[in-house]
Amino acid sequence: MEYRKWYDRDIKTSALGFGCMRFKMKDGKIDEELAMHLIDVAYQNGINYFDTAVPYLNEQSEEFVGRALKRYDRNTYYIATKMPVYRYKTVSDVEKQIDDHLGKLKTDYIDFYLLHAMNKDLLKKVKELNIIDICKRWKAEGKIKNFGFSFHDDYDTFMEILDLYDWDFCQIQLNYLDKDIQQTMKGYEELVNRKIPIIVMEPLKGGKLAHFNPKVEKKFKDYNNDIMVKWAFRWVSSLDGVMTVLSGMNELSQLEENIKIYKDFKKMTPEENELVLEVAEELKQLEVVGCTQCRYCMPCPNGVNIPTNFTIVNDYAMFDNENQAKRDFKFLSDKFADASYCIECGECIPKCPQHIDIPKELQKVLDIMNGLN
């Protein structure tokens, strides 16, 4: 297993981390036998970073992870979990959280503690409820060892959060197709410059980079026999400062495939790197709408989820997955947020930095979706 040392600190994490949010469920409960086996195989093959959070798997993940890892020497693995900042109304809500984590995880300390899915709104709450000071106290008491945050918002918000505290680590969404969204590569570089260790989530863009449009896939296939997943993992794990890449594995074959990639890990050559960037560019060119997901156009007064409508048709063009597109669109329709709810008021148009004629492009989304069987 490939390991990464956290700069001058006495921490070495496996370059592949286990995201404990996708175990299969049986009758509303985690499929215990399968999930336990996956944890065992992961541990025995050198994975030492296990990532969970309060809401994962109907709030069953933390408790399960605690139970599964309790069978091993506590000094041989790391647990990461996250504070559900979005739930709190009062300081006392926050104060209660740590004992809840420790109880469920059956441990005296959390190795890596993150503020979960930070964004502009949650940043306000973190300030109002004095959350940084509370976590600093927990750290001084030894209840948490390292304090960081996971992130989903834009670059400016990222920088504001980064300047709030001397973070021990940070978890960001990164893959070769998402380089220009959320914190972007500018945010990534800031972490490298500050020597803040990086944990990566969504290295496969929610599984989408496992297969895509055959015309583009061919570029990789002509180069070597590697599976698409390997290109995606290698790209992100070849970046400086990336310590661990999380994968939410729920099948043995998938876990074994990923372990194989990281047992025999090789950094990308400049030539391979160039090929990945070419593929990313080709995929981007298949996009129907050049939406960067900045969300400046939101909220729409008529409830349309503008960026997600665009994502659905862009993903369909890039990844060729008709069923996924239909499922995603139905999800929006159920919330009265699909493109058909646009009344062409035009309010969103001046807000879009990409100068997208949003109502016109939403009509295109409808045409494409109506064209599917």
Member of 103, 285, 335, 346 binding ligand SF4 (CB under 6 A): 346
**Least distance to ligand SF4 from the beta carbon of 205, Å?**
17
Q: Least Å distance between CB 183 and ligand SF4?
A: 16
Locus of tokens 């286990």:
18
Phi (first) and psi of residue 231, to 5 degrees: -60, -45
- Residue in this structure with the two tokens 């665009």, named with its chain if needed: 310
Cβ-based nearer residue to ligand SF4, 107 or 308: 308
Strands 242-247 and 16-19 come out as parallel
Among 21, 288, 352, 366, binds ligand SF4 (CB under 6 A): 352
The conformation of residue 153, written as its DSSP 8-state character, comes to S
- Considering the rule CB under 6 A, would residue 356 count as an interface residue with ligand SF4? yes
* Least CB distance to ligand SF4 at residue 120 (A): 15
Cα 255 off chain centre by: 18
Interacting stretch for ligand SF4, rule CB under 6 A, among 129-137, 234-242, 347-355, 365-373?
347-355
239/362 with CB nearer ligand SF4? 362
Count of residues engaged in binding ligand SF4, rule: CB under 6 A: 27
In 3-state terms, what secondary structure has residue 97? Answer: helix
Residue 313 touching ligand SF4 (CB under 6 A): no
Structure tokens belonging to residue 346: 């035009």
Binding segment for ligand SF4 (CB under 6 A), chosen from 109-117, 206-214, 235-243, 337-345, is 337-345
Binding region for ligand SF4 (CB under 6 A) out of 20-28, 100-108, 169-177, 303-311: 303-311
266's torsion region: left (phi>0), alpha (psi -120 to 50) or beta? beta
Which of 47, 65, 249, 358 contacts ligand SF4 by CB under 6 A? 358
Site for ligand SF4 in 73-102 (CB under 6 A): none
Q: How far, in Å, CA of 116 to CA of 128, rounded?
A: 16
CB of 31 to ligand SF4, least distance (A): 37
C-beta separation of 151 from 116 below 8 A: no
Q: Is 306 in the site for ligand SF4 (CB under 6 A)?
A: yes
Q: Which stretch binds ligand SF4 (CB under 6 A): 9-17, 147-155, 276-284, 338-346?
A: 338-346
Rg of the chain on CA atoms, in Å? 21
Provide the residue count of the chain.
373
**Which lies closer to ligand SF4 via its Cβ, residue 256 or residue 344?**
344
- As a 3-state breakdown, the chain gives helix, strand, coil percent values, each rounded to 5, of 50, 15, 35
Least distance between ligand SF4 and beta carbon 194 (Å): 28
For 176, list phi and psi in degrees, rounded to 5. -70, -10
Between CA 342 and CA 35 the distance in angstroms is 43
Instruction: Determine contact, residues 210/229, Cβ cutoff 8 Å.
Output: yes
Q: Does 324 bind ligand SF4 (CB under 6 A)?
A: no
Question: 261 to 300, contacts with ligand SF4 by CB under 6 A?
Answer: 291-297, 300
Q: Are 178 and 202 in contact (CB under 8 A)?
A: yes
Residue 172 or residue 291: which is nearer to ligand SF4 going by CB? 291
Q: Which of 130, 224, 269, 354 binds ligand SF4 (CB under 6 A)?
A: 354
Instruction: Please report whether residue 201 would count as binding ligand SF4 according to CB under 6 A.
Output: no
Tell me, what amino acid is at 112?
A: F
- Cβ 24 to ligand SF4 shortest distance, Å: 33
Q: 23-41: buried (b, 16+ CB within 10 Å) or exposed (e) per residue? A: beeeeeebeeeebbebbee
Residue closer to ligand SF4, measured from CB, 103 or 346: 346
Q: Write out the residues near ligand SF4 by the rule CB under 6 A.
A: 291-297, 300-302, 304, 306-307, 342-348, 351-352, 354, 356, 358-359, 362
